């Protein structure tokens, strides 16, 4: 039996999971002295590096002494919660990271609940103890209270605590100890995380927990071997979730070490490997011995809560900036996404329209951002929540929302959320003039709220939310308060006309930007939409006027990135997404059409 430990690193977003994995990789001696390693090495995707978040769970393996430790780095955003849940079924222990100032956050609660339910024993790491405002003792109490509230067993409540500053490679078992390296963390993992159960002599059982795709070998299933052995060239039986059995052959077996994947000949019970050659493999499927098939329980994958319509771009500027603009190309790209992303679904509705369902706005905007970087051009509608009928009652998804904000702004935010049907559950002072307020709110109430929240808290507020459950529908929820400034002409926006329009609201468009009839160039300062002409130049005459030498001073336009724009739009508006621009437009460009459809 190999000396193996399988652990997951789980935490709320931005509490330092990937940085901790960096430290474990570097201090284990897995990298050679000549190897150059980037910061947050596990975030391999360009978007992950830019945003500093983990989007896809990734696994690595390190050697420590004569042990092999398989580590899975998981995403922290609630939108990717399904991925964390699957990963936890593959491991025997978990490092729970908690920020030494922020403490227990919504996603911490979500992952802890899943972990305790699976009977995994945790190792708690209080990270970022070097923060000036860190309060590790309070955070340890919060974690203990959370475990008690989640019905942890006596064994789970007896968790080891490690204090760390992962960025600096510091870890210690007691705040009073001098700073040390990660040796105490490695020793705690070997001591507290049980060895994998299972026996290499039993019939083969592997369960796939995440997917990858390679243009040469096709679909790759990353799986944990629960029993038996697996070797390259083996004939296997794939047990699907619906009971179907598919024959297959392992064409490639891949092992992990550090950041490298290498081809191996065989592996046995307890290890985590990637297998290729089975085109129909899916998350939750079991790879079994054809002579003695013993499928494992299929995994429950969380249902999507949000839908967005992707459509072929039909604006007057369509096809000028993108490489892939047809419905067939968009369909192929969505098919490729569904190959590896089990938390998303799509269906075709009508000509050139696709309803894409996901776990949240972030998940959908990341897909859209990746597509535009690949040269796609398309339109996106406003996100809508998925409404279900449960036992004859119309139900919608609710979220658990936590906001940390300066105490002076708490009243404004509570009032705004009240209008969006939120129910306040707790209010706790956080020290240094900050307050934490917890709410339960319909997911619809959060669409479009983030921008308003940042404005109201002068950019100092932090909001986090995670899916709670489906509850009876709550009726209408207040949405955007202000109307839009809509262009009435095709052409190029001029500084002179924009200068005259900036008193009417906030502009999204800079001078010399191409505009078209029906395109939204700004937010009106009132609740109604206003048709404006952004291409009108200054009339030239041979008579000198009194205002001739007035300087045109323009306020910089509001930067509308993909997320902000998607939150801002209403039902009768669309985003035009191209590799070079994100434009906001009305669904019906002609004002007469807008009036006709608006009356229905």
Look at phi and psi of residue 193 and say left if phi exceeds 0, alpha if psi is from -120 to 50, else beta. beta
- Average the pLDDT over 304-309 and give the result: 85
* Residue 381 token pair: 């509608």
Residue 9 in domain: yes
From the list 595, 319, 236, 304, the residue with the least C-alpha distance to 443 is 304
Look at phi and psi of residue 81 and say left if phi exceeds 0, alpha if psi is from -120 to 50, else beta. alpha
Residue 336 in domain: no
Confidence band (pLDDT; 50, 70, 90) for 42?
A: very low
Co-location of 93 and 145 in the same domain: yes
**% of residues, the chain, pLDDT over 90:** 7
Consecutive H or E run containing 110: helix 106-117
What are 181-186's contacts with CB under 8 Å, separation 24+? 181/27, 182/23, 182/24, 182/27, 182/28, 183/27, 185/24, 185/95, 185/123, 185/125, 186/24, 186/27, 186/28, 186/64, 186/69
pLDDT in the model for residue 30: 58
pLDDT in the model for residue 542: 73
- Average the pLDDT over 85-91 and give the result: 79
Confidence band (pLDDT; 50, 70, 90) for 205?
A: confident
Which one-letter DSSP state was computed for residue 522? E
pLDDT surpassing 80 at residue 100: yes
Domain that holds residue 534: 484-599
Please, what sign has the CA dihedral across residues 141, 143, 146, 150?
negative
DSSP per residue, 170-208: EEESSTTSPP--THHHHHHHHHHSPPPP--TTSPPEEEE
Co-location of 464 and 536 in the same domain: no
For residues 100 and 81, the answer to whether their CB atoms sit within 8 Å is no
Any idea what the CATH number is for the domain that residue 519 is in? 2.40.50.250
Name the more confident of 510 and 281.
Answer: 510
pLDDT surpassing 70 at residue 370: yes
Q: Is 397 helix (H, G, I), strand (E, B) or coil?
A: strand
pLDDT in the model for residue 502: 87
pLDDT surpassing 50 at residue 54: no
**% of residues, the chain, pLDDT over 70:** 90
Residue 452: partners with Cβ closer than 8 Å, 6 or more residues away: 416
Confidence band (pLDDT; 50, 70, 90) for 170?
A: confident
Residue 163 in domain: yes
Cα gap 98→91, rounded to integer Å: 20
pLDDT in the model for residue 41: 44
Cα gap 159→318, rounded to integer Å: 58
pLDDT surpassing 80 at residue 573: yes
**Model confidence pTM above 0.85:** no
Cα gap 495→481, rounded to integer Å: 27
pLDDT surpassing 70 at residue 76: no
Average pLDDT, the chain: 81
Q: What is the pLDDT of residues 127-163, one digit of tens each?
A: 888 888 888 888 888 888 888 888 888 888 888 888 8
Residue 592 marked ligand-binding: no
- Enumerate the β-bridge partners of residue 495: none
In this structure, the strands spanning 235-239 and 245-249 are antiparallel
Residue 514 marked ligand-binding: no
pLDDT in the model for residue 444: 85
Residue 490 in domain: yes
Co-location of 52 and 122 in the same domain: yes
- Average the pLDDT over 386-397 and give the result: 86
Domain boundary, last residue among 192, 220, 242: 192
Co-location of 137 and 220 in the same domain: no
Consecutive H or E run containing 73: strand 67-73
Burial 201-218 (b: 16+ CB within 10 A, else e): eeebbbbbbbbbeeeebe
Domain boundary, last residue among 137, 165, 192: 192
pLDDT surpassing 50 at residue 82: yes
Any idea what the CATH number is for the domain that residue 284 is in? 2.40.30.10
Residue 320 in domain: no
- Average the pLDDT over 114-131 and give the result: 84
Residue 232 marked ligand-binding: no
- Average the pLDDT over 108-120 and give the result: 79
Co-location of 504 and 547 in the same domain: yes
Residue 474 marked ligand-binding: no
Q: What is the pLDDT of residues 256-283, one digit of tens each?
A: 887 677 888 888 888 888 888 887 887 7
Ranges 46-60, 205-219, 335-349: which has the least confidence: 46-60
Cα gap 490→106, rounded to integer Å: 47
Any idea what the CATH number is for the domain that residue 400 is in? 3.30.70.240
Confidence band (pLDDT; 50, 70, 90) for 599?
A: low
Co-location of 91 and 153 in the same domain: yes
Cα gap 255→260, rounded to integer Å: 8
pLDDT in the model for residue 524: 92
Cα gap 69→98, rounded to integer Å: 22
Residue 559 in domain: yes
pLDDT surpassing 50 at residue 36: no
For residues 101 and 132, the answer to whether their CB atoms sit within 8 Å is no
From the list 311, 302, 405, the residue with the least C-alpha distance to 360 is 302
* Residue 50 token pair: 């830019």
Cα gap 63→41, rounded to integer Å: 17
Residue 165: partners with Cβ closer than 8 Å, 6 or more residues away: 127, 128, 129, 130
- Is residue 432 packed enough to be buried (19+ CB in 10 Å), middle (13-18) or exposed (0-12)? exposed
Co-location of 466 and 443 in the same domain: yes
Name the more confident of 579 and 151.
Answer: 579
Residue 351 in domain: no
Domain boundary, last residue among 288, 319, 350: 288
Residue 352 marked ligand-binding: no
Residue 572 marked ligand-binding: no
Co-location of 467 and 488 in the same domain: no
- Average the pLDDT over 287-291 and give the result: 85
Cα gap 313→126, rounded to integer Å: 48
From the list 530, 543, 472, 537, the residue with the least C-alpha distance to 499 is 537
pLDDT surpassing 60 at residue 25: yes
Co-location of 466 and 506 in the same domain: no
Length of the chain equals 600
pLDDT surpassing 70 at residue 535: yes
Co-location of 55 and 181 in the same domain: yes
Cα gap 135→150, rounded to integer Å: 23
Residue 26 marked ligand-binding: no
Confidence band (pLDDT; 50, 70, 90) for 520?
A: very high
- Average the pLDDT over 235-240 and give the result: 84
Cα gap 540→261, rounded to integer Å: 68
Cα gap 416→401, rounded to integer Å: 14
Count the neighbouring beta carbons within 10 Å of the beta carbon of residue 36: 5
pLDDT surpassing 60 at residue 37: no
Q: Is 584 helix (H, G, I), strand (E, B) or coil?
A: strand
Residue 549 marked ligand-binding: no
Q: What is the pLDDT of residues 346-362, one digit of tens each?
A: 888 878 889 998 877 77
Confidence band (pLDDT; 50, 70, 90) for 517?
A: very high
Co-location of 168 and 61 in the same domain: yes
Residue 465 in domain: yes
Residue 130 marked ligand-binding: yes
- Enumerate the β-bridge partners of residue 15: none
pLDDT surpassing 80 at residue 339: no
For residues 455 and 463, the answer to whether their CB atoms sit within 8 Å is no
For residues 238 and 246, the answer to whether their CB atoms sit within 8 Å is yes
Co-location of 420 and 462 in the same domain: yes
Ranges 4-13, 33-42, 533-542: which has the least confidence: 33-42
Q: Domain count of the chain?
A: 4
For residues 587 and 313, the answer to whether their CB atoms sit within 8 Å is no
- Average the pLDDT over 94-113 and give the result: 80
């Amino acid at each position: 039996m190999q000396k193996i430990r399988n652990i997951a690193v789980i935490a709320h977003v931005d509490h330092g999971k990937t940085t901790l994995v960096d430290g474990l990789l570097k201090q284990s001696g897995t990298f050679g002295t000549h190897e150059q390693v980037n910061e947050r090495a596990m975030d391999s995707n360009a978007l992950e590096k830019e945003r500093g978040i983990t989007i896809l769970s990734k696994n690595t393996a390190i050697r420590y002494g004569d042990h092999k430790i398989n580590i899975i780095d998981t995403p922290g955003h609630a939108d990717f919660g399904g991925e964390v849940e699957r990963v936890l079924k593959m491991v025997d222990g978990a490092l729970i990271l908690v920020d030494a100032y922020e403490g227990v956050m919504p996603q911490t609660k979500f992952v802890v609940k899943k972990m305790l339910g699976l009977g995994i024993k945790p190792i708690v790491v209080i990270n970022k103890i070097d923060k000036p405002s860190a309060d590790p003792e309070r955070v340890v109490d919060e974690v203990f209270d959370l475990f008690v509230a989640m019905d942890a067993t006596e064994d789970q409540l007896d968790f080891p605590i490690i204090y760390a500053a992962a960025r600096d490679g510091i870890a210690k078992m007691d705040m009073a100890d001098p700073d040390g390296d990660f040796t105490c963390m490695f020793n705690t993992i070997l001591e507290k995380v049980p060895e994998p159960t299972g026996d290499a002599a039993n019939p083969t059982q592997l369960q796939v927990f995440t997917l990858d795709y390679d243009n040469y070998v096709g679909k790759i299933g990353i799986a944990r071997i629960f029993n038996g052995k697996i070797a390259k060239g083996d004939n296997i039986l794939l047990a699907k979730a619906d009971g179907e059995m598919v024959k297959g052959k392992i064409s490639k077996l891949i092992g992990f070490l550090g950041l490298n994947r290498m081809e191996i000949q065989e592996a046995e019970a307890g290890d985590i490997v990637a297998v290729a050659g089975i085109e129909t493999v899916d998350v939750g499927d079991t790879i079994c011995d054809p002579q003695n098939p013993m499928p494992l329980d299929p995994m429950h994958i969380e249902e999507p809560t949000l839908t967005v319509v992707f459509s072929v771009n039909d604006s007057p500027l369509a096809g000028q900036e993108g490489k892939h603009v047809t419905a067939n190309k968009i369909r192929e790209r969505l098919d490729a996404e569904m190959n590896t992303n089990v938390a998303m679904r799509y269906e075709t509705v009508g000509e050139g329209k696709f309803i894409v369902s996901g776990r949240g706005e972030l998940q959908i905007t990341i897909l859209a951002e990746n597509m535009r970087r690949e040269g796609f051009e398309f339109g996106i509608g406003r996100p809508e929540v998925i409404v279900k009928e449960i036992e004859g009652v119309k139900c919608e998804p609710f979220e658990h929302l936590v906001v940390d904000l300066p105490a002076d702004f708490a009243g404004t935010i509570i009032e705004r959320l009240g209008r969006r049907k939120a129910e306040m559950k707790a209010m706790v002072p956080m020290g240094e003039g900050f307050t934490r307020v917890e709410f339960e709110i319909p997911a619809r109430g959060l669409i479009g709220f983030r921008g308003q929240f940042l404005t109201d808290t002068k950019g100092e507020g932090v909001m986090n939310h995670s899916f709670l459950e489906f509850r009876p529908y709550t009726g209408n929820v207040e949405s955007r308060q202000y109307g839009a400034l809509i262009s009435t002409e095709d052409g190029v926006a001029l500084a002179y006309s924009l200068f005259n329009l900036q008193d009417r609201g906030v502009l999204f468009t800079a001078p010399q930007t191409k505009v078209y009839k029906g395109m939204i160039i700004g937010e009106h300062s009132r609740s109604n939409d206003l048709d404006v002409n952004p291409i009108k130049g200054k009339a030239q005459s041979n008579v000198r006027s009194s205002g001739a030498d007035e300087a045109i001073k323009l306020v910089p336009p509001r930067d509308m990135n993909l997320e902000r724009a998607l939150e801002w739009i209403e039902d009768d508006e669309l985003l035009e997404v191209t590799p070079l621009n994100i434009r906001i437009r009305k669904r019906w460009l002609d004002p007469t059409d807008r009036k006709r459809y608006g009356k229905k």
